[in-house]
Amino acid sequence: MTLIEDLKFRGLLNQATDEDGLTDLLDKEKIALYCGFDPTGDSLHIGHLITVITLRRFQLAGHRPLPLVGGATGLIGDPSGKQAERTLNEQSVVEGYSQKIRSQLERFLDFDGENGAKLKNNYDWISEMSVIDFLRDVGKNFGLNYMLAKDSVESRIQSGISFTEFSYMILQSYDFYHLYKEENCKLQIGGSDQWGNITAGLEFIRKMYGQEEDEKAKAFGFTIPLVTKADGSKFGKTEGGAVWLDPEKTSPYEFYQFLLNTEDSDVIKFLKYFTFVSREDISALEKEVEERPHERAAQKRLAEELTAFVHDQDAVRQAQNISAALFGGGDLKSLSADEIRQGFKDVPSFTSEEGKGLIDLLVEGGVSPSKRQAREDIKNGAVYINGDRCQQMDKTMGPEDRIDGQFTIIRRGKKKNFLVHYEG
């Protein structure tokens, strides 16, 4: 398949300004393309991955990606898809976010070789413009009626939009023009909410080069669909919030489990969107979902592929080890300290010291409400230490009860887990 055919197969081509022209261009030459990422937080989340991976698909086909961190536009705020004005962050905060997002993008694209990616920050050129230059040389090319007709602006007219956010479209358009002029960038991609900003940039390029040079100034844009689940809800949200790419915010195990819990109705679509699994393998996995859904082969493949891409293969093995120990009857004592931190991140935890009696430990940690209840729990076989049932009333906690020398996992009943840390 050609690149465009592959994008269509995967459902990634939502809108295109000139699909035939873009197809012809990609057949004839290797191009530079860009996608912007505004630093509105200190990490990208899983929803950003669809555009990052699309950049990667272009790179694997021989094209040069230009991931852009919006150090300037991040100070302004994009009204697209927002019902109300964003809270503006201080410049120092945005700079810090920019650095973190930059380091994440550098993990997902190759920056060496003939078509090595080039990371851009629009603060480098927008900050150099004076207000007069911006108004005379850029702003004069944007008609008010034209801007008001764009969805990102029109949807906010009733609730209100400031001049600051209103000007965002102009700044993003200037980014496209600047990259076209300096890097010969002929394509901008983005989420479906960016269609108005992308087409405004194309119009600005055409105006800057003039009608007579329209063909010379030919540039393109396409959008990627908003990632939603079969029930219409937004992909990438959990009860605990967004699924982040930063392992400190969402552990590799949590990331893996989120994908492993994908519904059958969504998993093939997400395999197409987020992985480089071949067409043939996806067809085989689709058949698995239809005939043997209980085996969850497609979900496992999705979780393995995407966890390895975002983190690494060691993270996949760790996530599988934790899953096996927690849900597959595996040995808890085989887990490493790091795996325990990930797998038991959200369970109640407390600190104790070695040599304490089990009954006292159960009461101290709130596992049992009283010594009397603790004795009852032990007697009835409801207490487990590191996965093993313990009915020894006079049990004293010793070094042999520590996993990786640091933790003890106590379970009361079938599901109530507690994590014990040790002092010293």
Q: Is 241 helix (H, G, I), strand (E, B) or coil?
A: strand
The residue from 234, 371, 379, 416 that is catalytic is 234
Of 15, 17, 18, 86, which residue is the catalytic one? 86
Query: Distances from the Cα of 157 to the Cαs of 150, 153, 204, 277, in angstroms?
Result: 11, 6, 23, 43
What's the rounded Cα separation, in Å, for the pair 200 and 219? Answer: 12
Is 172 annotated among the ligand-binding residues? yes
Annotated binding-site residue? 34: yes
Tell whether residue 273 is among the known ligand binding residues: no
Q: In whole angstroms, what is the distance from residue 33 CA to residue 220 CA?
A: 9
Integer CA distances (angstroms), 143 to 140, 219, 233, 345, in order: 7, 21, 36, 53
How far is 378 from 372, CA to CA, in rounded Å? Answer: 10
Is 166:82 a contact under the CB 8 Å cutoff? Answer: no
- H/E stretch holding 324 reads helix 313-327
Contact present, 170 and 79 (Cβ < 8 Å): no
Report the C-alpha dihedral over residues 158, 159, 164, 165, rounded to 10 degrees.
-90
Annotated catalytic residue 421: no
Looking at 59, 172, 223, 318, which residue is catalytic?
172
Known active-site residue 379: no
Q: Is 63 among the catalytic positions? A: no
Q: Tell me if residue 87 is catalytic.
A: no
**Residue 314 annotated in active site:** no
- The tokens of 120 are what? 């851009």
Q: Which of 15, 23, 40, 164 is catalytic?
A: 40
The one catalytic residue among 48, 156, 178, 186: 48
Residues in the chain: 424
Catalytic residue among 42, 193, 246, 360: 193
Catalytic residue among 2, 228, 238, 391: 238
415 in active site: no
Give the span between the Cα atoms of 416 and 324, in whole angstroms: 18
Annotated catalytic, 40? yes
DSSP 131-161: HHHIIIIIGGGS-HHHHHTSHHHHTTTTT--
Q: Would you call 172 a catalytic residue per the annotation?
A: yes
* Catalytically annotated residue among 17, 18, 57, 82: 82
> In the annotation, is 45 catalytic?
yes
User: Which entry of 6, 15, 17, 45 is annotated as an active-site residue?
Assistant: 45
Annotated catalytic residue, options 207, 237, 345, 402: 237
Report which secondary-structure segment, H or E, holds 37.
strand 32-37
Active site residue 229: no
CB count, 10 Å around CB of 59? Answer: 19
- Rounded distance between C-alpha atoms, residue 337 and residue 404, angstroms: 6
Is 237 labeled as ligand-binding?
Answer: yes
251-to-236, 273, 326, 350, 398 alpha-carbon distances in Å = 14, 22, 16, 21, 30
Sign of CA dihedral 157, 159, 163, 169: negative
In the annotated binding site, the residues are: 34, 168, 172, 237
Residues carrying an active site annotation? 40, 45, 48, 82, 86, 172, 193, 234, 237-238
In the annotated binding site for L-tyrosine, the residues are: 34, 168, 172
In the annotated binding site for ATP, the residues are: 237
